[in-house]
């Protein structure tokens, strides 16, 4: 269970969002929608524990994963709780080869080799990217990079999967595939947050969080 | 302006298969072309070849009959505005205003008239409040608006936009549609590479074409 309580973000004294509170249970999909600059991507970074108070950034409030405050979790523990697929996959992908990218996180989480191989094969299959497994990541198109970024986070099997504009560069066949992957992932007892401007993405969500001047959540 | 592509083939290395295969097509000013195609089919590659960022393996491209390989990059940039799929790749100035001013500063053509145009573009593209911000602190959608604003100031004949609406909100998408319609009404040509059928198929008079198996059909 994810609980967000009174989360607020100021950037250079400008309020990006405030009084943000919501809950997300196991098996649920939350869609986050809002205008450009309303703080959707910042929220994702905060939920993944990738945003902290700095010179120009003031983040306040609490984020709990199964009752544990994210501020008290180690990087290892955070990786088990939450995985984020970045809006721009080029900010996420760094390994030379597709398969290296996909096993990087499990290797660093000390997942056993046999289990890692199983996750790799399984994720290549469900993401429909088996044909890319021998490719260099630099050779992939934008849409293929989005699918690889998703696959790489799925191999970590986080309890909360956050995807930021995951279908923005993906063709129509693969969009349906991604929707199926996210629904199945939630059905397995995980939670999913999908940040999107696409009406079709909203259709798979159980809840909606509207970011903007009057941020509100709806079931 | 007319962009003619003739018998164009391209592969990334001698060992790899052709991404584009004997592709021929004519893009004409006054039209908006929406080029669709599955992931990995070569849409971005084609855009980069037209812009001269990649060299074709064979075939050629002409701009109004002139062999494009003989056109200098600076002259090519005066004719065509290119928006990268990842707008962060083309934004680098310390502030939004500086980003818009950069091409004029570098060419030594900055004057009061251009400064005035930059102010108008900031307002038109809903960036005025962000004019002193670093582009790299902006959201992805804001970066897309800024990249297009920068191109709009250069009065090019053709726009090649790679996934220009992928991170835009509804307001931004509606603005993009009306901007492109105005641009083509004034004789400009537009090539859009995208999967955003919901937005781009709404453009008046849009010509939908498909890149498949290395060729346009």
Quickly list DSSP for B133-165.
S-GGGS-HHHHHHHHHHHHHTT--SEEEEESTT
d(CA A110, CA A80): 12
What is the per-residue pLDDT for A208?
96
What is the per-residue pLDDT for A212?
85
Here the ipTM equals 0.77
For the segment B6-65, what is each residue's pLDDT rounded down to a tens digit? 999 999 888 888 999 999 999 999 999 999 999 989 999 999 999 999 999 999 999 999
Q: Does B103 touch chain A (CB under 8 A)?
A: no
- Report the residue from A140, A147, A197 with minimal CB separation from B169: A197
Whether B142 and A168 lie within 8 Å, measured CB to CB: no
What is the per-residue pLDDT for B136?
87
* B11 to chain A: closest CA residue: A139
Question: Mutate which of A42, A168, A172 to test chain B, going by most B C-beta atoms within 10 A?
Answer: A168
Q: Does B168 touch chain A (CB under 8 A)?
A: yes
d(CA A171, CA B75): 34
d(CA B178, CA B155): 17
Please list the pLDDT of chain B residue by residue as tens digits (217 residues): 999 999 999 998 888 889 999 999 999 999 999 999 999 899 999 999 999 999 999 999 999 999 999 999 889 988 999 999 989 889 999 999 999 999 999 889 999 999 999 999 999 999 999 999 999 889 999 999 999 999 999 999 999 999 999 999 999 999 999 999 999 999 999 999 999 988 888 899 999 999 998 889 8
What is the per-residue pLDDT for A169?
87
* Nearest chain B CA: its distance from A92 CA (Å): 13
pTM score: 0.87
Q: List CB contacts (< 8 A) between A143 and chain B.
A: 39-40, 195
**Which of A:187-216 have CB within 8 Å of B?**
197-200
- pLDDT less than 70: residues of chain A: 213-219
Distance, C-alpha B110 to centroid of its chain? 23
Distance, C-alpha A6 to centroid of its chain? 21
What is the per-residue pLDDT for B106?
87
Whether B139 and A173 lie within 8 Å, measured CB to CB: no
Whether B137 and A11 lie within 8 Å, measured CB to CB: yes
For the segment A37-57, what is each residue's pLDDT rounded down to a tens digit? 899 999 999 999 999 888 889
Q: Token digits for B78?
A: 């005066």
Q: Does A136 touch chain B (CB under 8 A)?
A: no
Q: List CB contacts (< 8 A) between A173 and chain B.
A: 38
Residues in chain B: 217
Nearest to B196 by CA among A193, A197, A88, A147: A197
What is the per-residue pLDDT for A44?
96
- Report the residue from B39, B85, B162 with minimal CB separation from A170: B39
- Report the residue from A87, A174, A198 with minimal CB separation from B140: A87
């Amino acid at each position: 269970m994810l609980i967000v309580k009174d989360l607020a973000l100021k950037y250079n004294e400008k309020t990006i969002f405030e009084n943000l509170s919501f809950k997300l249970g196991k098996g649920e999909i939350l869609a986050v929608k809002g205008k450009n600059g309303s703080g959707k991507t910042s929220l994702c970074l905060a939920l993944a524990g990738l945003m902290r108070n700095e010179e120009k950034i003031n983040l306040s409030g609490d984020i709990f994963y199964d009752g544990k405050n994210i501020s008290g979790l180690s990087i290892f523990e955070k990786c088990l709780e939450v995985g984020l697929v970045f809006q721009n996959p080029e900010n996420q992908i760094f390994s030379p080869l597709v398969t290296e990218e996909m096993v990087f996180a499990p290797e660093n989480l000390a997942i056993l080799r046999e289990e890692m191989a199983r996750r790799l094969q399984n994720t290549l299959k469900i993401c429909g990217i088996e044909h890319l497994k021998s490719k260099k990541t630099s050779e992939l198109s934008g849409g293929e990079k989005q699918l690889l970024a998703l696959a790489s986070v799925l191999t970590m099997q986080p309890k909360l999967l956050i995807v930021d504009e995951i279908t923005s560069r993906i063709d129509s066949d693969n969009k349906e595939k991604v929707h199926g992957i996210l629904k199945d992932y939630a059905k397995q007892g995980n939670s999913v947050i999908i940040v999107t401007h696409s009406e079709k993405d909203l259709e798979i969500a159980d809840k909606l969080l509207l970011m903007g001047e009057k941020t509100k959540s709806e079931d | 302006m007319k962009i003619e592509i003739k018998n164009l083939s391209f592969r990334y290395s001698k060992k790899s298969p052709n991404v584009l295969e004997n592709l021929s097509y004519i893009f004409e000013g006054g039209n908006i072309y929406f080029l669709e195609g599955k992931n990995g089919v070569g849409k971005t590659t084609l855009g980069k070849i037209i812009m001269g960022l990649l060299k074709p393996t064979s075939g050629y491209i002409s701009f109004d009959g002139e062999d494009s390989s003989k056109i200098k990059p600076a002259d090519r940039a005066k004719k065509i505005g290119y928006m990268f799929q990842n707008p962060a790749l083309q934004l680098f100035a310390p502030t939004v205003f500086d980003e818009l001013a950069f091409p004029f500063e570098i060419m030594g053509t900055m004057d009061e008239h251009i400064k005035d145009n930059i102010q108008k573009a900031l307002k038109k593209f809903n960036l005025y409040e962000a004019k002193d911000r670093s582009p790299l602190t902006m959201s992805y959608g804001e970066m897309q608006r800024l990249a297009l604003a920068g191109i709009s100031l250069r009065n090019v004949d053709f726009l090649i936009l790679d996934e220009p609406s992928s991170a835009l909100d509804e307001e931004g998408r509606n603005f993009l549609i009306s901007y492109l319609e105005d641009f083509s009404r004034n004789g400009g040509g537009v090539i859009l590479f995208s999967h955003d059928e919901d937005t781009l198929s709404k453009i008046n008079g849009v010509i939908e074409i498909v890149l498949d198996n290395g060729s346009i059909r």
